[in-house]
Amino acid sequence: MIMSALPIITLPDPLLRKVSKPVETVDAELLKLADDMLETMYDAPGIGLAAVQVGVPKRLIVLDVSEDDDTPRPMTLINPEVLKIDGERTRMHEEGCLSIPDFRLEIERPASIVVGYLDREGKPQELPAEGLLATALQHEIDHLNGKLIIDFLSRLKRDIVVRKFKKMAREASA
């Protein structure tokens, strides 16, 4: 199977603000998209990628939070949703986003969650997640809901980041 890296859309692309549609059928075309997304994520490099970030507003995410020297553990989650949040414990983590290059932000999120999703065979699964995996899952599910890491900033700081990316986009197309 030939996998190919896809172009990643970046701020200020309005598609990043759209809520992604649920996947109706798990078929070869969807699995090829998931494989291409994994290739794109590894190539970037990143630890997670939502389909909307490659211009496909479907509820599909890929992740791999294995350490650099570990064996890769790619994950494909179709129609993921947070089923349970441990409201007691939170975790601060500096997050980056492939759609907002060279920008990082400390974000506090629940440290432990349970995510429901369909696997590559279309079977329902539940995934309890802690630490980095919980953070990455929440980050990617936010993408499916049109939410970006800059939404954790104050309005003023968010506007500054958006203006910077709009300016870069104008200069790139000039």
**Is 0.85 topped by the overall pTM?**
yes
- The residue from 88, 94, 140, 171 that is catalytic is 140
Q: What is the spatial distance between Cα 111 and Cα 126, in angstroms, rounded to a whole number?
A: 17
At 31, the pLDDT band (50, 70, 90 cuts) reads very high
In the chain the domains, ranked by start, together with CATH numbers, are 14-173 (3.90.45.10)
> pLDDT, tens digit, for every residue of 87-110?
889 999 999 999 999 999 999 999
pLDDT of residue 37: 98
> pLDDT, tens digit, for every residue of 34-48?
999 999 999 999 999
Q: Is 140 a catalytic residue?
A: yes
At 68, the pLDDT band (50, 70, 90 cuts) reads confident
